[in-house]
Amino acid sequence: MVARLIAIALRFPWAVMALVALIAAAGYYAFCQLPIDAYPDISGTMVQIIATYPGKSPEQVEREVTIPIERALLGVPRARTVCSRTIFGLTVVQVLFEDGVEDYWARQRVAEYMNNISLPPGADAEMAPLMNGYGEILRYELVSDGTQDLFALRELNDWVVIPALRRVPGVADVNNFGGLQKQYAITFRPADLDRFGLTINDVVDAIRGNNSSAGGSLLQQGSMAFVIRGAGAIQSPADIENTFVKSVNGFPVFVKDVASVGIDSRPPQGIFSRNHRDSSVEGIVVMRRGENPSRVLARVQAAVAELNQSRLPQGVRLIPFYDRQHLVDRTLETVSHSVLLGITLVVLALLLFFGRPSIAALVACTIPFALLFALVLMYLTGIPIGLLSIGAIDFGIIVDGAIVMADNIARRLKEAFAAALPENANPTASDTQAELAVARRFSARQFLQIVLAAASEVERPVFFSLAIIVAAYIPLLSLTSIEGLLFRPMALTMVYALLGALVFALFVVPVVCLLLYRRGYSEWENPLLTAAVRFYTLSLRGLLACRWLVLAAALAFVGWVSLRIAPRLGIEFLPYIDEGVIWVRANFPEGMSLERNSALCRRLREIVLTEFPDIQGISVQSGRNDTGNDPYPPSRNEIGIYPRPYREWQQFRSKAELVAALGKRFREEFPTVRFNFTQPIIDGVTEDTNGTSANLAVEFTGPDSDVLLQLAEQTVELLKSIPGSQDVYIEQEGPQPQLLITPDRQLCARYNVRIEDVATLINVALGGESIAKLYEGERFFDIVVRVDRWVANSPRAIGRLPVRTADGNTVPLSQVARIEVVDGQTIIARENGWRRKTVRCDIVGRDQGGFVREAQEKFAQLVQPHVPPGYRVAWLGMFENLDRARRHFMLVIPITVAVIATLLFTTFASVRITGLLLLSVPFAFTGGVLALWWRQMNLNVSTGVGFAALFGMSMMNGIVLLRAIRAHQQAGHALSQAILLGAQECFRPILLASLVAILGLLPASLATGLGSDVQRPLATVIVWGLMSSTLLTLFVLPVAYYVLAPPVAATRSEDWADTGEAATLVATGPDRLDPALPT
């Protein structure tokens, strides 16, 4: 079938070239349309519900808001996990879906179930925009030259900057962090309230009752109609002051008589500081999931430039200090360097081995064609361009099929032209007259038959070799979860490129050879290559003589590596993926105020800026943002540390050294603070997906928080005792003090006080509940009532606040309620309807697999016996992903081997030959394992990807070699002679194919820049595995075939017979070509 397609292509060569041009144009169009990013989005489908219940404790928010939402969402179809985090006045509920669920389908299902939820008055729940931890593309700071304070900067951010950036296509949301949010505060004077016999509730009712507008339909006046409206809304602070409250002894009492009105700030939820500024305003731009990061970021940067140029007042600048483009550019620089260097090495090798530049250039053209072909398929299947995927393509492997095809056509052309040369001709590349003389003796039809016969000889091994390489990617294409999202695009990109390379090798190479070499073909003989072939032939003859010793040594070597070296390799989920930024989480002691937290962070910023010259900037987020999608207490800090470009470093040699030095210095200065070092993208994505960003997390779920805390504390001590553990602590903050005001129902009944009035007093006077809005043009601000700061900060003064009774009198709060300081929850984590405690642990200087095995053994002995019935223990974090990937590979790899074995058997129809070719797998394995051991790398999903690709590649050369040997056996040669002739014939294509494959990924295996972390172990496995596999193919496989070779008749098929016929046909010369040969 393939031979017939090749014949059709040769009969219509210019149509083939037109199709090549069309594919190239389509590939360029796809490149312009596809999104480009450094790493693929590895977060799953998630819907987030953000619910606020201002002023309420975590326990109350959990009981009245979180649990009703959770109970409703537990029934959402295809939901995998429903988890939540609840803090003071806020809860965030996340619904994580199964793999493959479409985002908008998931959001529609959640919206349907949310309609059935009834929340208490004052609580509000809404669905977060379509975004995730991967979508953060830019952070900026609003900076003033001193003319604007934090009130003005926050107002500019809320009403000018954020709306402008939200209008940018592809932006899901822009979150504010820091600054002072303007509001109008009515601050009571308790003495005046007592003097007039008023309560705070009286003033609140007066404000609400004197702030309304009305509409009165239309007024008809002749032919005119006027809108009737009443304007009673509060327009200014003066309107608030002059609001009538109550008449006392015939005199009107206004708000200004019992309170002062002025501009105030809402109690901040977070403080942002950067470099030497203690407090500033930050904006975080988040991209909508599925958008093109580069395009969205370009639009955002254009909007930022416009804001700075014309929208912001004089003296205010919007300064981006972190954006995704930095990562893309640096990764692109590293990947481009590796790819271009690899392509250059491949081309040089082609020029060295092929004695004619045109044939080398033809083979090299496989690279751009395969890449453009892959881009077309990526566009059709919706796969974005990941620099990780493009960088992992081994362009040396891409050209392997073209090498075999071009080498065979070139060899057959040389033989045919040499056979037809005049006796006195010198068949060299410079003998143009001889070439022309020969060319005139071949008709166009005869020349086409020569090329077709040569292509038909190798089309089957080329096809099946590339098919086997594609089959080797089955384990990668079937990966799920994080590892699937990370490596499946890479595998698909490689498969698409291999398909393009197959098309080029089978159809384009013969056509171009037909067009280029119609006038003859000869090439320069490389003396080094000729000497190498001679040396190889002599070596192989000697190895055949001592074949049993060779096989014994080979088996001993494989056994030694498998039994002694492989078990020494550590195991981890993924290699460290450098984003160029350091992200630090610092948990200060529970209950610490936001102001005290920010003051301590000032010292931390000083340490970084003065003691670490390799760092150019630092930003600190204390508390949480105003949107609430990160529910952190005031004691939590997120610190961004921005190093200089690595080439400018003077103090440290690597990022790992810098992180270690920072950790040591921070812990010396703040011994009670829990620090965790990570990176912004991987931190956000893994927390969304796994619930934690730690290497290892032990999760306890159950009904009782005290039992969960006890189990978690035991686990912390256990993990700390294991070598390699670092930053071990309970992820959820511990209890913090709470001022609990509990109305006494008996006393309330005695004084005729409603509990609702007590609650209103707490909500309004102490909680800062908004009672109205004041509009200033298009902007509006809250009106709140509160007591003086000294009153709100004194339990005794709070107890003296007046509470209105039903008969119009007042009574102190302390007479109807109990006021006490108790311990309460700081943050309440839940999962699938149960409370949760999580012990996190990072693993340093040790492989994840060995650490977890030791931890699980000790846990089973020391902690598991104390876990009560009804409580669940789960081992999560990066280890969970590692364990899932390991189980997946153990299931899929045997299936893949079976598929490859089936393809081999289909090709050779021999169980023995199939088994011989499968021997390349352990030899390739030995090279990869030795390389990992020598370079001190761990086994991980990236190296697993490399091994899967390597096993397919390692069989390609064996197929070509055994094909040639079998062909010579069929031609009547003795076994040993057939082996020597076949090996000599295939030495150049095998050596060249292996060399270009090695050279293609050699730069990636040695790269150290940003973006090389995932490529480096993958490329190391392939490069060194191909080295050992090539040695097996050239030296051991012929010896093994000599010992185990099946009879020729056992494998003879029409395909092999056709190959032999084609070989004979080409060797006969032009005078004996069969004119009836089908074309």
Comparing 283-292, 305-314, 792-801, 866-875, the range with the smallest average pLDDT is 792-801
Residue scoring higher pLDDT (46 or 3): 46
Residue 757 above 90 pLDDT? no
Cα(697)–Cα(573) distance, integer angstroms: 14
Q: Which residues is 280 bridged to in the sheet?
A: 272
Q: How confident is the model at residue 589 (pLDDT cuts 50, 70, 90)?
A: confident
Mean pLDDT of 808-816: 85
Does residue 1074 sit in helix, strand or coil?
coil
- pLDDT recorded at residue 49: 92
- In this prediction, residue 1073 carries a pLDDT of 38
Homologous superfamily (CATH) of 45-131 is Multidrug efflux transporter AcrB pore domain (3.30.70.1430)
Strand 736-743 relative to strand 872-876: parallel, antiparallel, unpaired?
A: unpaired
Amino acid code (one letter) for 786: R
Q: What is the CATH T-level fold of the domain 182-214+229-265+737-824, as seen in this structure?
A: 3.30.2090
Which pLDDT belongs to residue 1071? 39
Residue 775 in tokens: 């509009």
Task: Look at residue 436 in the predicted model and tell me its pLDDT.
Answer: 53
Stretch among 165-174, 270-279, 725-734 having the lowest mean pLDDT: 725-734
pLDDT tens digits along 156-204: 999 999 999 999 999 999 999 988 988 898 888 878 888 888 888 888 8
DSSP H helical ranges for 698-769: 705-720, 745-751, 755-761
Q: Closest Cα partner for 802 from 194, 282, 256, 386?
A: 194
Q: Give the pLDDT confidence score for residue 434 in this predicted structure.
A: 55
Per-residue model confidence (pLDDT) at position 685: 67
Question: Can you name the CATH fold of 2-33+354-573+883-1072?
Answer: Multidrug efflux transporter AcrB transmembrane fold (1.20.1640)
Per-residue confidence band for 299, with pLDDT thresholds at 50, 70 and 90: very high
Contact between residue 1026 and residue 954 where contact means Cβ atoms under 8 Å apart: yes
Over residues 115-147, the pLDDT tens digits come to 888 888 888 899 988 887 778 889 999 999 888
For 582-678, the fitting CATH number among 3.10.300.10, 3.40.50.620, 2.60.40.10, 3.30.70.1430 is 3.30.70.1430
Cα end-to-end distance, the chain, whole Å = 13
Q: Taking the C-alpha atoms of 13, 14, 18 and 19 in order, what is their torsion angle to the nearest 10 degrees?
A: -20
- Top pLDDT among 1073 and 241 is at 241
Backbone angle region of 254, left / alpha / beta, with phi > 0 → left and psi within -120 to 50 → alpha: beta
d(CA 312, CA 1061): 81
Each domain of the chain, given as residue ranges in start order, spans: 2-33+354-573+883-1072, 45-131, 182-214+229-265+737-824, 582-678
% of the chain with per-residue pLDDT over 90: 17
**Which residue, chain included where needed, has tokens 């990869």?**
928
CA 993/CA 1016 separation, integer angstroms = 21
Q: Are 634 and 826 spatial neighbours (Cβ–Cβ below 8 Å)? A: no
Q: What percent of the chain shows pLDDT beyond 70?
A: 91
CB 469 within 8 A of CB 956: yes
Given this model, what pLDDT does residue 688 score?
Answer: 62
Instruction: Please say whether the beta carbons of 786 and 266 come within 8 A.
Output: no
* pLDDT tier, 799 (very low <50, low <70, confident <90, very high otherwise): confident
Same CATH fold, 582-678 and 45-131? yes
Of 242-251, 433-442, 526-535, give the range with the top mean pLDDT. Answer: 242-251
**Residue 47: which pLDDT band, with cuts at 50, 70 and 90?**
very high
> For residue 431, what pLDDT band results from cuts at 50, 70 and 90?
low
Highest mean pLDDT among 39-48, 634-643, 1047-1056: 634-643
Of 572, 582, 574, 841, whose CA–CA distance to 693 is shortest?
841
Q: Which residue has the higher pLDDT, 845 or 981?
A: 981
CA gap 1028, 885 in Å, rounded: 27
pLDDT in tens, 444-487: 777 788 888 888 888 887 887 778 888 877 777 777 777 777 77
- pLDDT over 60 (residue 1055): no
- Is the pLDDT at 1061 greater than 60, yes or no? no
Which of 34-38, 366-370, 596-600 bottoms out in mean pLDDT, i.e. has the lowest? Answer: 34-38
Beta-sheet strands, E only, within 579-735: 582-587, 615-623, 636-643, 674-678, 696-702, 725-730
- List residues bridging with 842 in a β-sheet: 726
pLDDT at 1066 over 70: no
Label the pairing between strands 182-188 and 582-587: unpaired
When pLDDT is averaged across residues 1072-1076 and rounded to a whole number, the result is 38
Take residue 208 and report the two structure tokens written for it. Answer: 């609400």
415, pLDDT greater than 90: no
Compute the average pLDDT of residues 879-908.
Answer: 79
- Helices 1015-1031 and 920-934 cross at an angle (nearest 10°) of 130
The pLDDT of residue 522: 61
pLDDT(1079) > 60: no
How high is the pLDDT of residue 605?
Answer: 92
Structure tokens at 772: 């109205």
Neighbours of 55 (CB within 10 A): 18
Of 29-38, 247-256, 604-613, 682-691, the range with the highest mean pLDDT is 604-613
Top mean pLDDT of 101-115, 190-204, 417-431, 991-1005 is at 101-115
- Neighbouring C-beta atoms of residue 338, cutoff 10 Å: 26
Q: Please, which pLDDT band fits residue 303 given cuts at 50, 70 and 90?
A: very high
Inform me whether the pLDDT recorded for 545 exceeds 90.
no
Top-confidence residue, 226 or 518: 226
* The predicted structure's pLDDT at residue 1001: 79
Mean pLDDT of the chain: 82
Model confidence band, residue 1048 (pLDDT cutoffs 50, 70, 90): low
**Which pLDDT band, with edges at 50, 70 and 90, does 1052 fall under?**
very low
Residues near 413 by Cβ (< 8 Å), separated by ≥ 6? Answer: 450, 451, 454, 513, 517, 520, 521
CB 623 within 8 A of CB 617: no
Work out whether strand 736-743 and strand 770-776 pair parallel, antiparallel, or are unpaired. unpaired
The whole-number pLDDT of residue 1051 equals 42
Which tokens is 723 given?
Answer: 């070598």
pLDDT value at position 105?
94
Question: Closest by alpha carbon to 913, among 1051, 820, 775, 807?
Answer: 1051
Q: What is the pLDDT, as a whole number, of residue 318?
A: 93
Looking at residues 548-571, what average pLDDT do you find? 87
Q: What's the mean pLDDT in 622-643?
A: 84
Contact at 8 Å (CB) between 699 and 873? yes
Q: Which tens digit of pLDDT belongs to each residue from 94-113?
A: 999 988 889 999 999 999 99
